Amino acid sequence: MSDVTAIGQRQDATLGAADMVGGAPADYVALLKPRVMSLVIFTALAGLVAAPVHVHPVIGFAALLAISVGAGASGALNMWYDRDIDAIMTRTRARPIPSGRIGAREALGFGLTLSTFAVFTLGVVTNWLAAGLLAFTIFFYAVVYTMWLKRWTPQNIVIGGAAGAFPPMIGWAAATGSISLESVALFSIIFFWTPPHFWALALFKSGDYGRAGVPMMPNVKGAARTRLEIFLYSLLLVPVCLSPWFIGFEGRAYGVVALVSSLVMLALAFRVWRDTEGRDKDKAAKQLFAYSILHLFLLFAVIVAEHGILRPLGLA
């Protein structure tokens, strides 16, 4: 029996076959969105090591594990709710629920159980501010973004991007027990990075989102407006990426890398805005999408290297 019918219609009254037999461990790992988790681990690590307090490696490892499992759990809840549209989009139709490898209720239970464990563990291991932020992040991604914003407004990923921006702030809070200007700067980098990153993807996957009825910017406001907004957000991203350097939180190495990488991203965003015809238009969007991932990785890699390696050795 399939749990998927049409958009917004779900057959949840009875258990499906997949609910009763369950999937293989790899299917449950896929529910956690491992690629998103890897970014969460990395950015949370940056928040943890950049904090001006020493964290015991075992406590740091446990905190990172809890944050990543919490992020994975919110991914499982997202896949549970979005199973109807996931079955329509080519990008997502092989996911465990639409492909029938895991039942919807199984995924819901899995997501809720892991969320509870992750929040409780982070609270016990570090502090309840960090645990509260993790709980809010899961709620924000699963309820505010997935259930409300995603199907309602083309600004879905602008506001929903906050969910992806919280991990470094949670890492910082896990280490210090507080929220400060430095952690807000790390949050802002991911928050303002999200729109150009996802809209670049939406430009060359707009057919997919359109068929699924998801109001992404290109489907609602058109490709031209999306290209302009990508450029404007990329422009705004330059000072935001430099802000850790401006406030004296990061050193010169970070400033140079952030400036060069932000300008490369801005140049690619300019090409997306300019190349509106022919084969180049999709190529530019794909290049921006790929580079945006590298851009974020570079910034947080420098933060991890500077605070985790260079400063302890007295080299920065």
Q: Which residues bind other proteins (CB under 8 A)?
A: 20-25, 28, 56, 58-59, 62, 65, 124-125
Going by C-alpha positions, the residue among 36, 26, 120 that lies closest to residue 78 is 36
Any idea of the CA torsion for 258, 261, 265, 271, to the nearest 10 degrees? 140
Question: How is 225-263 classified by DSSP, letter by letter?
Answer: HHHHHHHHHHHHHHHHHHHHHHTTSS-HHHHHHHHHHHH
Closest distance to other proteins from the beta carbon of 46 (Å): 22
Q: How far is the CB of 49 from other proteins (least distance, A)?
A: 17
What is the nearest approach in angstroms of other proteins to the Cβ of residue 53?
15
At its nearest, how many Å lie between other proteins and the CB of residue 276? Answer: 48
> Of 60 and 196, which CB lies nearer to other proteins in the complex structure?
60
Q: Which is nearer to other proteins, 15 or 184 (by Cβ)?
A: 15
Give the C-alpha distances (Å, rounded to integers) separating 189 from 26, 66, 119, 140, 242: 32, 23, 24, 18, 9
- The residue among 110 and 187 lying less far from other proteins, judged by its C-beta, is 110
Instruction: Return the number of the residue (124 or 260) whose C-beta is nearest other proteins.
Output: 124
> By C-beta, is 20 or 256 nearer to other proteins?
20
By CB atoms closer than 10 A (0-12, 13-18, 19+), residue 218 is buried
What does the radius of gyration of the chain's CA atoms come to, in whole angstroms? 20
**Contact (Cβ atoms closer than 8 angstroms) between residue 191 and residue 161:** yes
Looking at the Cβ atoms of 124 and 309, the one nearer to other proteins is 124
What is d(CA 165, CA 39) in angstroms, rounded to the nearest whole number?
10
CB of 135 to other proteins, least distance (A): 19
- Can you tell me which residue has the tokens 């075992």? 58
Tell me how far, at minimum, the Cβ of 26 lies from other proteins, in Å. Answer: 8
